[in-house]
Chain A
């Protein structure tokens, strides 16, 4: 018996302005019935393109140049468009990264599932609805009869992804391709979604291809893992083995760079990286409180008719008009030279908190004291002109979005110097920018490039250089590595740690990833629904969490089976060799 999906020597080419580019090079891939195969790789590794080629949904510039794709004996490369269209959804279906984009925003979710069932003649007009509700039940949507009538915008991200899964599985396909199905979802939601996919596919004996950048996720949920790099398969092995004893040097590097229990910040870097001398610049008044936040509250009015209209109509405030409290009485302190981690899932109020501390939003109540000055009392709209502005800076989550697409890297870094640094003259500014670029490890010849000509890691460095240009006392890091590949993340995290000890700054690190926070932070605050659930030293919170919610968070992080021990063993070797680690 042959494999369900048999890909041999697949090569995909894209026609671009600079000639043809091979995105996928001679890839072999086999998926047996009932097997779950993970395709792991960083951005640009060709992992998504491979699956698009299998589904024959490459965009117009791309074409399959060579190789064969056979699906249960059927040659997909030779199949005509009509045949493929019948196959898609019924035999092979796909889950995309962003569930909201994958659903039609103006059609009821129940209808969308019905559409698929009818398209493939699985259900007629009589039983479509009943089958749809049964599908919704299977993906564990509460009140399926009611949710049938919901529009995508009425559902949370996790619920939307469940609907997409219901869509994908509605016609009982033999193969499911999940392309980063949980990126952008919270860890607890990720766990719920992945458990659901695993359970449903196992119960139906389906084969699954899980495409992800997260080695931990792949190792936890897959039988076999295929590691790709720049369009080529570098390693194929059973999941447990990939984690325990990675064969290829690239896989090893990827493994090392993945933040996990027991890892150290230096340990994330490739083997053989010279460890920088462990040194801590004496921080002026280290340990003295730098930022004090007391009883911080942020309220948003509930959505609906605006207050003005209510006043005009004379209806008065409706009964449920109690404002929504995004941040509810938060108090914490950051000492000089310290890193504080702020952890929580989306909607917990961590971003609102960072925006208030950053003085981009005004708090409803509470005090924000930086050093001796109550900066919370200065309105956010006037804070740009305040002398305190330069003392507190930020590194943004998305390095692409936070750089003006029409400014060069130099212009971006120079902006704070010109506005607040009082630096005059083209040469003086350029010299200072070059010094900053050197500090963050950005090659000087990249300074004249525009953001779209830089890679993700380089853009992150520009953002960091801009934030530290005025030597602020406090830097807020808002998920600074969330949009980066793990190997780049490892480098950037190390850079941040080096800069901190060198310049004596304090960090407020906002993140959803407990493992990343543990690497960089001394203390951690876990937030939920605008309140602090748990606070303590990073080690204590991660190793021995007190609150039930923290335990739930930690449990939801994918834990690779078996292999863990071996990893830790090899890690301790690395630690012994690297005295400055930690």
Chain B
């Protein structure tokens, strides 16, 4: 009986050219990444910078030339030199070591707050977009309420109210970013709610929650990844900003925001290096994450490439 299908002619139209091997797996992804990096060297640069930041965060305390907390009043306020690449601060601590060690803390704050908001905002947004109705109204109004405050002031208020800890900085950063994630996830889920493949999944006996998680979530993942990378820069800036005004991380813990704050007073007397180098590190990190976000968007959606 099986000769029936084979009796039919093969389709007249040619299939779109597919790679020799199915484009799954790590090798294909690497090839794609190489293509993107080659067509846009700035994305390659961003990936390299990202790797450097991760490396600094991982190895920071091991590779520092000095103890970041050890003060040496004899060597206070020295300008950058062979011994102290970024100079020393008012109590003689080595700024290069402190900048390097601070990477880990700032990176952890950014990653954990972004991860938290990704889970909370993303899930709330998908539910709002997929179910609509009251779910949508409630979730969207929560976002609107958050958006009604100046975000940095809101973050300040949360940390001030909850207490001056790293956990609360993470929480505050996550809350102020909530509307961004919720809105993107909602919009993306909403357009796919009535898509053919969702209807087809209903026909094949998937429950609504399974459709949400197994069918819709993988489709909005790429755009969420881009959003994560873009907000990562903002999260670092937010954490440093809070520390700068004295909320959050407390001295003498090395942290870019505090170090800039500490150094600010010395600029007027000519010791520019105390504030400049941590500020520079902060700028480069934010710059790197923003470039990375743009690069990821190119990888995911070649048509929107400018």
Interface residues of A (CB under 8 A from B): 17-18, 42-44, 253, 269-270, 273-276, 358, 360, 381, 384-385, 389-390, 393-394, 396-398, 401-408, 415-416, 419-420, 438-441, 446, 448-450, 452-458, 463, 466-467, 485, 487-488, 491, 494-495, 498, 502
Q: Mark B1-16, 1 if CB is under 8 A from A, else 0.
A: 1111111111111111
CB distance from A15 to the nearest CB of B (A): 12
* Interface hits, B1-51 → A, CB 8 Å: 1-18, 22-24, 35
Q: Which residues of A contact B196 (CB under 8 A)?
A: 396-398, 401-403
| Interface of chain B, main secondary structure | loop
**Which of B4, B11, B16, B199 meets A491, CB within 8 Å?**
B11
Q: Mark B173-210, 1 if CB is under 8 A from A, else 0.
A: 00000000000000000000001110111111111100
* Cβ–Cβ contact A440 & B5, under 8 A: yes
Is B73 on the interface with A (CB-CB < 8 A)? no
Interface residues of B (CB under 8 A from A): 1-18, 22-24, 35, 195-197, 199-208, 215, 218-219
> Cα distance A17–B17 when bound, in Å?
11
For the complex of A and B, list the 5 residue pairs with the smallest distance between their C-beta atoms, beginning with the closest: A402-B196, A416-B204, A401-B196, A441-B5, A419-B205
Q: Which residues of B contact A44 (CB under 8 A)?
A: 13-14
Q: Which residues of B contact A390 (CB under 8 A)?
A: 205
* Cβ–Cβ contact B204 & A502, under 8 A: no
* Cβ–Cβ contact B3 & A406, under 8 A: no
Q: Which residues of B contact A275 (CB under 8 A)?
A: 7
CB-nearest residue of chain B relative to A487?
B12
CB-nearest residue of chain A relative to B216?
A404
CB-nearest residue of chain B relative to A495?
B8
Asked whether A420 and B205 contact (CB < 8 A) given A402-B200, A404-B197, the answer is yes
CB-nearest residue of chain A relative to B17?
A18
> Cα distance A396–B205 when bound, in Å?
16
CB distance from A506 to the nearest CB of B (A): 16
* Cβ–Cβ contact B9 & A453, under 8 A: no
CB distance from A358 to the nearest CB of B (A): 7
* Cβ–Cβ contact B5 & A498, under 8 A: yes
> Cα distance A455–B17 when bound, in Å?
10
* Cβ–Cβ contact B13 & A495, under 8 A: no
Q: Which residues of B contact A402 (CB under 8 A)?
A: 196-197, 199-200
CB-nearest residue of chain A relative to B21?
A448
Asked whether A458 and B11 contact (CB < 8 A) given A384-B206, A438-B2, A448-B22, the answer is yes
CB distance from A227 to the nearest CB of B (A): 14
Asked whether A491 and B8 contact (CB < 8 A) given A416-B204, A420-B204, A502-B1, the answer is yes
CB distance from A549 to the nearest CB of B (A): 30
> Cα distance A44–B218 when bound, in Å?
30
> Cα distance A275–B7 when bound, in Å?
7
CB-nearest residue of chain A relative to B24?
A448
CB distance from A308 to the nearest CB of B (A): 11
Q: Which residues of A contact B1 (CB under 8 A)?
A: 502
Between A and B, 19 residue pairs with Cβ closer than 8 Å are A42-B13, A253-B12, A384-B205, A384-B206, A401-B195, A408-B22, A408-B24, A415-B200, A415-B206, A419-B204, A419-B206, A441-B8, A453-B23, A458-B15, A466-B200, A467-B203, A487-B12, A502-B1, A502-B4
Besides A416-B205, A455-B14, 6 other A-B contacts (C-beta < 8 A): A270-B9, A358-B203, A384-B205, A397-B196, A458-B15, A491-B8
* Cβ–Cβ contact B13 & A488, under 8 A: yes
Q: Which residues of A contact B200 (CB under 8 A)?
A: 394, 396, 402-403, 415, 463, 466
* Cβ–Cβ contact A406 & B12, under 8 A: no
Q: Which residues of B contact A360 (CB under 8 A)?
A: 199, 202-203
**Which of B14, B24, B197 meets A403, CB within 8 Å?**
B197
* Cβ–Cβ contact B11 & A455, under 8 A: yes
* Cβ–Cβ contact A488 & B202, under 8 A: no
CB-nearest residue of chain B relative to A501?
B4
CB distance from B185 to the nearest CB of A (A): 16
CB-nearest residue of chain B relative to A476?
B203
> Cα distance A384–B215 when bound, in Å?
15
* Cβ–Cβ contact A404 & B5, under 8 A: no
Q: Which residues of A contact B3 (CB under 8 A)?
A: 276
> Cα distance A356–B99 when bound, in Å?
65
Q: Which residues of A contact B16 (CB under 8 A)?
A: 452-455
Asked whether A404 and B219 contact (CB < 8 A) given A456-B13, A495-B5, A502-B4, the answer is yes
Asked whether A273 and B8 contact (CB < 8 A) given A455-B16, A485-B13, the answer is yes
CB distance from A438 to the nearest CB of B (A): 7
CB distance from B191 to the nearest CB of A (A): 11
**Which of A396, A438, A458 meets B5, CB within 8 Å?**
A438
* Cβ–Cβ contact A269 & B13, under 8 A: no
CB distance from A238 to the nearest CB of B (A): 26
CB distance from B118 to the nearest CB of A (A): 18
**Which of A273, A394, A453, A466 meets B18, CB within 8 Å?**
A453
> Cα distance A404–B213 when bound, in Å?
13
* Cβ–Cβ contact B35 & A17, under 8 A: yes
Asked whether A43 and B195 contact (CB < 8 A) given A385-B207, A441-B5, A466-B204, the answer is no
CB distance from B224 to the nearest CB of A (A): 13
Q: Which residues of A contact B15 (CB under 8 A)?
A: 446, 453-455, 458
> Cα distance A393–B203 when bound, in Å?
7
CB-nearest residue of chain B relative to A395?
B200
> Cα distance A360–B13 when bound, in Å?
33
Q: Which residues of A contact B218 (CB under 8 A)?
A: 404, 406
CB distance from B196 to the nearest CB of A (A): 3
* Cβ–Cβ contact A276 & B205, under 8 A: no
CB distance from B150 to the nearest CB of A (A): 32
CB-nearest residue of chain B relative to A442?
B5
Q: Which residues of B contact A458 (CB under 8 A)?
A: 11, 15
Asked whether A396 and B199 contact (CB < 8 A) given A404-B215, A416-B204, A449-B22, the answer is yes
Q: Which residues of A contact B4 (CB under 8 A)?
A: 276, 498, 502
CB distance from B171 to the nearest CB of A (A): 32
Q: Which residues of B contact A404 (CB under 8 A)?
A: 197, 201, 215, 218-219
> Cα distance A406–B22 when bound, in Å?
13
* Cβ–Cβ contact B12 & A488, under 8 A: yes
> Cα distance A438–B8 when bound, in Å?
12
> Cα distance A382–B240 when bound, in Å?
50
CB distance from B135 to the nearest CB of A (A): 14
Q: Which residues of A contact B24 (CB under 8 A)?
A: 408, 448
> Cα distance A337–B235 when bound, in Å?
63
